Structures are given as structure tokens and as C-alpha cells.
């Protein structure tokens, strides 16, 4: 089944999203020991390996200039990263995964937003095997959040119209319930991936299904999102923005 990857909005809505997604400065004060260590928030640009370009755009808008962009070829485990965000990850190069594993060993917090729900069966199987091999995380097949008889629309259309649908009751909007780092509910407009891991802590559920977790790996922490929040951030969703802001405040 083909999934639309169209960008969320045009130039006019981009300006609005920038205003919605303003974050407090992430720069450290001169007296903060972390400012001397060179640690910072980094966003990995996977290019075609990012299966939802609007997710990458969401993080871009949310973080503004207070982060570093890196291409896969620029990823170096010797660099210092306090928080490393991997948006809507699809098929992954083994060298990139090894570099991320090395970063975890040295104390980096890796926020892995999985895009596996949008892969074909063969690529999904490879994605699942990679997560198991490198991070000891198990994912199940995607859960569809919208009934098959509903009209096909982009993620952006669903996000923009969600509040009206809630008020009229014409369509049930699925929510992912987060319990860390704050309690909130974030709309999901397509698919979510159930996840589990030994020694992992469930941080979000869809009904009874765990769809996000955190896990200590080496000296770092691996945060897995089976329900992408980047598109919701891109659309100006206040709950998604608050959740990401809380993660940054927690780890930085």
C-alpha cells in the first residue's frame, strides 16, 4: 500500500508553524559545565531514508537554530551530542546504526522516531531485525489507527481537521497517551508500532498497546517512538510540542 509523503503545508503555514513551535533557548550559560563539554542537540538528516519528510520539518521548526544538522556521512561517534534525534527512520545504513550505538555507549540520549510503519514488508523486516540486533528492542506489525472505509487523506489534512472532528463527533481521533517526561495525549493520524524490550520502560500507549519506550544502553538512553510526533509538531499540535520541550528540558 502506497503512503502519501507530501509535505504538510505551503509557505504561509510554514510561518505559522514557526510561531507555534518556538522553544526556549537551548544554549548553556557560561557557568554551566555542559557548555564546556561541547554537548548539544543534534538532528540527523536521513534524506530519502526519512520516510516522512514532514516529520523532519517538524523538528527543524521546533528546534530552530538551537541545534546541529548532520547528514549520515557526517555522523562521527567521537563528536559530543547530548540529545540526538533521528526522525521517521526507515531503512538504515549499518554504519549509521553502529555510530549511534557508539554514541549511546558514551552517554548520548538518542531519540529514535521509527518510520517502520510506512515501509514495505521486506524493509519492515530488516528494520525490525536491526532494532533487535543493535538495541535489543522488539517491534510488532503496525496498528492501523483509522478505519479502512475512511477517505484517503494526507497526514496534514487529518491534523488540521482533527479539532473540528472531535467537536462534531463525526470521526474518532486516536490518541497516544504519554506518561513520560510528562503526562499528555498526542494525536496520531495514521499508524503506530507496538514495541517492547527487556529492561525497557513504556512511556506511551495506544489503548493497551505500548508504542514508545525508553531504555538504558551503555551510558546513554534510547528513546523509541513507534508513533511519529514530528508531523504533529509540524502541524502546530500543542501537546506534541510540549512533549518534545519536556524531553529537551529533562535531558539538557
The answer to the question of residue 161 being in a domain is no
Which CATH number covers residue 132? 3.40.50.880
Q: Is residue 126 part of a domain?
A: yes
Q: Which residue range(s) make up the domain with 68?
A: 39-146+173-251
Residue 12: predicted pLDDT: 31
Would residue 238 count as lying in a domain? yes
Q: What is residue 146's predicted lDDT score, i.e. its pLDDT?
A: 67
- 109, 84 in Cβ contact below 8 A? yes
Indicate if the pLDDT at residue 139 is higher than 70. yes
Residue 130 located in a structural domain: yes
Residue 33 included in any domain? no
In this prediction the pTM is: 0.77
pLDDT grade for 147, boundaries at 50, 70 and 90:
low
How confident is the model over 238-248, as pLDDT tens digits? 999 999 999 98
Q: At a CB cut-off of 8 Å and minimum separation 6, what does 121 contact?
A: none
Residue 219 lies in a domain: yes
Q: Is the pLDDT of residue 152 over 50?
A: no
For residue 82, what is the enclosing H or E element? none
pLDDT tens-place string over residues 29-38? 333 333 333 4
89 within domain boundaries: yes
| DSSP annotation string for 15-44 | HHHHHHT-----PPPTT-HHHHHT--EEEE
Q: What is the DSSP string of 89-150?
A: E-S--HHHHHHHHHHHHTT-EEEEEE-GGGS-HHHHHHHHHHHHHHH--EE-PPEE-S-TTS
Q: What is the pLDDT of residues 87-134, one digit of tens each?
A: 999 999 999 999 999 999 999 999 999 999 999 999 999 999 999 999
In a domain? residue 153: no
How many domains is the chain built from? 1
Q: Which residues lie closer than 8 Å to 99 by C-beta, 6 or more apart? A: 75, 76, 77
Phi, psi of 108 (to 5 degrees): -70, 145
Amino acid at each position: 500500500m502506497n503512503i502519501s509523503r507530501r509535505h504538510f503545508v505551503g509557505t504561509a503555514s510554514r510561518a505559522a508553524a514557526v510561531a507555534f513551535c518556538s522553544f526556549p533557548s537551548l544554549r548553556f550559560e557560561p557557568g554551566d559545565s555542559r557548555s564546556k563539554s561541547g554537548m548539544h542537540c543534534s538532528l540527523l538528516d536521513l534524506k530519502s531514508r526519512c520516510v516522512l519528510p514532514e516529520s523532519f520539518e517538524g523538528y527543524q521548526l521546533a528546534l530552530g537554530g538551537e541545534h546541529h544538522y548532520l547528514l549520515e556521512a557526517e555522523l562521527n561517534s567521537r563528536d559530543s551530542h547530548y540529545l540526538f534525534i533521528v526522525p521517521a527512520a526507515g531503512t538504515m545504513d549499518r554504519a549509521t546504526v553502529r555510530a549511534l550505538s557508539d554514541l549511546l555507549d558514551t552517554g548520548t540520549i538518542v531519540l529514535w522516531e521509527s518510520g517502520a510503519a510506512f515501509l514495505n514488508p521486506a524493509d519492515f523486516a530488516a528494520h525490525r531485525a536491526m532494532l533487535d540486533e543493535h538495541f535489543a528492542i522488539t517491534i510488532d506489525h503496525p496498528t492501523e489507527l483509522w478505519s479502512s472505509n475512511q477517505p484517503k487523506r494526507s497526514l496534514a489534512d487529518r491534523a488540521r481537521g482533527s479539532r473540528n472532528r472531535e467537536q462534531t463527533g463525526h470521526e474518532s481521533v486516536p490518541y497516544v497517551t504519554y506518561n513520560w517526561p510528562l503526562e499528555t495525549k498526542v494525536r496520531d493520524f495514521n499508524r503506530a508500532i507496538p514495541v517492547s524490550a527487556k529492561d525497557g520502560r513504556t512511556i506511551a500507549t495506544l489503548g493497551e498497546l505500548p508504542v514508545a519506550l525508553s531504555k538504558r544502553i551503555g551510558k546513554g538512553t534510547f528513546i523509541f517512538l513507534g508513533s511519529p510526533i514530528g508531523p504533529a509538531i509540524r502541524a502546530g499540535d500543542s501537546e506534541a510540542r510540549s512533549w518534545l520541550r519536556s524531553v529537551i528540558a529533562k535531558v539538557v
